[in-house]
């Protein structure tokens, strides 16, 4: 069956083509990608745009005698279809991208063979379902399906991403021959400067960059910077950054990390699959640290949650216009410090601000969301009453709440959270899984501050629960308990060192607890009072 490989070199959302001209192993990235795709004799052509910015790219391809087609910048689907106009409907179409240089002819042959063996109309190789790093991306379909897609795709998204119509019609099937490698959370695409350095480092270690097998390159990738340290990605781990902006936490003995340490931690967290970074206006210089760390493309790989300032300079009689001005100041200060034109998630730090000043704060935030300054709105709650209020408001899409293995206060609302999730987008993050480090501390003084005069009953129960649940220690137990709740999407964990990050990644790679184990924990746990569960009520000494 005839086939053709089309290397996509540019999209409308990636307007500058310069990165594919960067040298790797002595040749431009796009050239290396094309040569590797063709190294078993398969026909390869590169689809670029008619924009003048692509003239230099066209000249490079001419110089290396690589066939190319020039078409629409914005309608990539149309460009791809016209690039293969001379081929008949049944021709197998193989789509690659020019910034991903690991795929080679041998891998493409294997994917296409699987496509035929399974009698598929669409097959994809990429990421965790395939067990191969993000960047070893191969899509296979037939030209007739692309032609049908070009006639029926109406949205800009479908035209840019080429295959959504085909996927919608036939479903997504994955090439999974190498799933056992479990390298789907690794990365070998070239979107960031650090990606480019890693790819250059990998190819510097091989004798023939064109013919070297893709799997050999994957093995070398494990030695590169900003690659995972855990066996699996950890999307449930939310990086809490109070410690990056100030000295924070009852168990914090290190103080605030340096800027270089914080940047490395944040980037490694993202590289290990962390999807959210949590901060706030009141976390000292945390927003500044995040903004500087996520420059040069890193911000596109993670979402940042920040929170409204406490508005302590406004009393109950403050004029509504001044309240709105304070809200605007907080929002735009966060944008400036984070280096973002719009905020991914913006939360009320105090649930009372939902109703305060006749609802002016929430009203103003809704307006800013409608204007595109804020993408999603949320509320940080302290108690079940505040949670009930937040659940009743449709445009609250994020909720953050304190929750730990001793915390019984939320039991009556678990089913309501799940019910709300059924009819609207709602993300629930919990914080204080370790109760600011108290639950893994044996220092009597700390427990006394938290109004527990005798820690023996609690500590003995924790140790017994560790044993009966098959956990490694109390921290593992506490994290697994919270992560195992079906209504919990993420767990905010504060960290002040890279060693803590690695340890937390290890904890979040552990299996969840079973329903029986959760029931045993909840039926035997000792009672502690609200004064223990709420750190704001702890004594000073």
Residue 463 gets which letter from DSSP? H
Nearest Cα residue to 402 out of 420, 418, 386, 425? 386
CA distance 150 to 154: 9
What is the C-alpha separation between 53 and 404, in angstroms, rounded? 55
Residue 250: the pLDDT is 46
Helices (H), 300-413: 320-338, 356-370, 384-391
Rounded distance, CA 507 to CA 529, Å?
28
Strand partners for 8: 47, 97
Distance, CA of 488 to CA of 61 (rounded, Å): 50
Which alpha helices (DSSP H) does 406-455 contain, by range?
A: 414-423, 444-449
The phi and psi torsions of 255 (rounded to 5 degrees) equal 80, -170
**pLDDT value of position 230:** 93
Strands 276-278 and 343-348: unpaired
Q: What whole-number distance in Å separates Cα of residue 304 and Cα of residue 295?
A: 13
Q: What is the pLDDT of residue 316?
A: 84
Rounded CA-CA distance 270/344 in Å is 16
Return the residue matching tokens 């197998």: 92
In this prediction the pTM is: 0.91
Here the tokens at position 242 are 């109070």
Q: 450 Cβ partners below 8 Å, 6+ apart?
A: 435, 438, 531, 532, 535, 538
Average pLDDT, the chain: 94
Counting as low any pLDDT under 50, the low residues of the chain are 249-252
Q: What is the pLDDT of residue 10?
A: 72
88-140 residue pLDDT tens: 999 999 999 999 999 999 999 999 999 999 999 999 999 899 999 999 999 99
Q: Measure the CA–CA gap between 224 and 222, rounded to whole angstroms.
A: 6
Contact partners, residue 422, CB within 8 Å, separation at least 6: none
Residue 309 CA to residue 139 CA, distance in Å, equals: 46
Task: Identify the burial level of 85 via C-beta atoms within 10 angstroms of its C-beta, where 0-12 means exposed, 13-18 middle and 19 or more buried.
Answer: exposed
The one-character DSSP state at 511 is P
Alpha-carbon distance of 308 to 282, in angstroms, equals 9
531 contacts 470 by C-beta, under 8 angstroms = no
pLDDT of res. 18: 74
Would you state the torsion angle of the CA atoms of residues 440, 441, 446, 450, taken in this order, to the nearest 10 degrees? 20
DSSP, collapsed to helix, strand or coil, labels residue 378 as: strand
């Amino acid at each position: 069956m005839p086939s053709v490989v089309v290397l996509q070199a540019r999209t409308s959302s990636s307007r500058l083509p310069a990165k594919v001209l960067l040298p790797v192993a002595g040749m431009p990235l796009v050239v290396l990608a094309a040569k590797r795709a063709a190294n078993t004799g398969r026909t390869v052509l590169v689809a670029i745009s008619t924009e003048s910015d692509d003239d230099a790219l066209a000249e490079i391809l001419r110089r290396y005698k690589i066939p190319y087609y020039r078409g629409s910048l914005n309608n990539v689907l149309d460009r791809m279809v016209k690039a293969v106009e001379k081929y008949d409907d049944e021709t197998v179409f193989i789509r690659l991208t020019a910034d991903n240089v690991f795929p080679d002819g041998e891998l493409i042959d294997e994917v296409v063979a699987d496509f035929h063996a399974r009698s598929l109309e669409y097959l994809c190789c990429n990421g965790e379902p395939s067990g191969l790093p993000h960047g070893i991306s191969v899509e296979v379909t037939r030209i007739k399906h692309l032609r049908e897609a070009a006639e029926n795709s109406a949205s800009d998204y479908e035209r840019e991403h080429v295959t959504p119509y085909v996927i919608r019609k036939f479903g997504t099937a994955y090439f999974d021959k190498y799933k056992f490698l479990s390298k789907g959370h690794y990365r070998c695409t070239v979107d960031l400067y650090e990606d480019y350095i890693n790819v250059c480092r990998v190819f510097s270690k091989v004798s023939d960059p064109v013919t070297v097998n893709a799997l050999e390159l994957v093995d070398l990738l494990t030695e590169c910077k900003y690659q995972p340290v855990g066996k699996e990605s950890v999307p449930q781990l939310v990086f809490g950054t109070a410690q990056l902006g100030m000295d924070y936490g009852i168990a914090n003995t290190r103080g605030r990390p340096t800027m270089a340490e914080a940047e490395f931690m944040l980037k490694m967290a993202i590289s290990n699959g962390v999807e959210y970074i949590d901060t706030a206006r009141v976390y000292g210089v945390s927003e500044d640290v995040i903004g500087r760390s996520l420059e040069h493309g890193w911000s596109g790989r993670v979402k940042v949650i920040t929170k409204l300032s406490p508005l302590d300079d406004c009393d109950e009689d403050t004029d509504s216009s001044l309240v709105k001005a304070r809200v605007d100041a907080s929002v735009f200060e966060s944008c400036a410090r984070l280096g973002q034109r719009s905020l991914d998630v913006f939360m009320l730090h105090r649930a009372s601000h939902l109703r305060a000043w006749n609802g002016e704060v929430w009203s103003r935030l809704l307006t800013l969301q409608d204007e595109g300054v804020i993408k999603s709105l949320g509320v940080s709650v302290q108690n079940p009453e505040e949670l009930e209020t937040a659940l009743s408001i449709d445009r609250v899409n994020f909720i953050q709440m304190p929750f730990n293995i001793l915390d019984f206060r939320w039991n009556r609302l678990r089913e309501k959270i799940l019910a709300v999730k059924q009819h609207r987008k709602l993300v629930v993050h919990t914080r204080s899984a370790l109760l600011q480090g108290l639950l893994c501390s044996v220092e009597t003084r700390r427990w006394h501050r938290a109004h527990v005069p005798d820690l023996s009953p609690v500590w003995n129960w924790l140790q017994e629960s560790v044993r009966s649940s098959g956990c490694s220690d109390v921290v593992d137990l506490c994290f697994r308990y919270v992560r195992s709740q079906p209504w919990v999407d993420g767990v905010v964990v504060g960290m002040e060192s890279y060693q803590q990050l690695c340890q937390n990644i290890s904890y979040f790679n552990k299996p969840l607890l079973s329903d029986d184990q959760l029931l045993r924990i909840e039926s035997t746990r000792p009672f502690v009072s609200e004064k223990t569960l709420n750190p704001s009520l702890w004594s000073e000494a």
